[in-house]
Amino acid sequence: MPRAGLTPATVVREAAVLADEVGYEKLTLAALAARLGVALPSLYKHVRGVDALHQQLAVLPTAEIADVLTTAAAGRAGGDALRAVAAAYRAYARQHPGRYPAAQRAPDPADAEHVAAGERAAGAIRAILLGYGLDGDDAIDAIRMFRAAVHGFVALEAAGGFGLPRDTDRSFDQLIAGLDRAYRSWGDR
């Protein structure tokens, strides 16, 4: 019987694919093992368990989000960059309904790769905020504001939380427009 040739990385990557197909909460070691053509306990040679898999699984989408945001911001500034980055974030969440929730898991401080990916994502936003004249603690607050607004929106949207027959695209545009105004008027009362 030849070996499957798995590594922790391949297991986690396949878990990401599977999560997008069946949903994050329905991601199961049993289904993952079947997908990889391997018996369930064999996975324990590569991941410590389902909880560790979830933790590991957070790294990939975090890095992908960082990439997507960085790409979207390239060559733009101000409200232009803000809209592009927000749209890219939302698009990622919709295209990856399984791995996006995985990314919400906070990094283990000991996981340098995960921490770095998170910082890269935050850095993409921070660069835009610099164009609004925001830095230091203001930038931290403004980044948290961006994350709260955009994550909150896509989470509620994915959960079917917007019931009224009003186009969510419009609402999202208004959200980002409001964010833009909030950033521009940061110092005001």
Partner DNA sequence: CCTTAAAGCTAATGCTATTAGCCAAGATGC
Partner DNA sequence: GCATCTTGGCTAATAGCATTAGCTTTAAGG
What is the 8-class DSSP label of residue 106?
P
Binding site partner of 17, from DNA, its own copies, none, Cβ cut-off 5-8 A by kind: none
Residue 34 Cβ vs its own copies, minimum distance, rounded to whole Å: 23
Q: Both tokens of residue 186?
A: 């940061």
Cβ distance to DNA smaller for residue 21 or 141 = 21
**35, 42, 119, 182: residue in contact with DNA (rule CB under 7 A):** 42
Interface residues toward its own copies, by CB under 8 A: 104-107, 118, 137-138, 140-142, 144-145, 147-153, 155-156, 159-164, 166, 168, 170-171, 174-175, 178-179, 181-183, 185-186, 188
In DSSP notation, 139-163 reads: HHHHHHHHHHHHHHHHHHHHTT---
- By CB under 7 A, tell whether 163 contacts DNA: no
Whether 135 and 186 have beta carbons less than 8 Å apart is answered as no
* Interface with DNA, residue 136, by CB under 7 A: no
φ/ψ region of 2 (left if φ > 0, alpha if ψ in -120 to 50, else beta) reads beta
Match 């980055």 to its residue by tokens: 85
Q: Is position 35 an interface residue for DNA (rule: CB under 7 A)?
A: no
Q: Indicate the DSSP class of residue 69.
A: H
Residues that bind DNA (CB under 7 A): 1-6, 28-31, 37-42, 44-46, 49-51
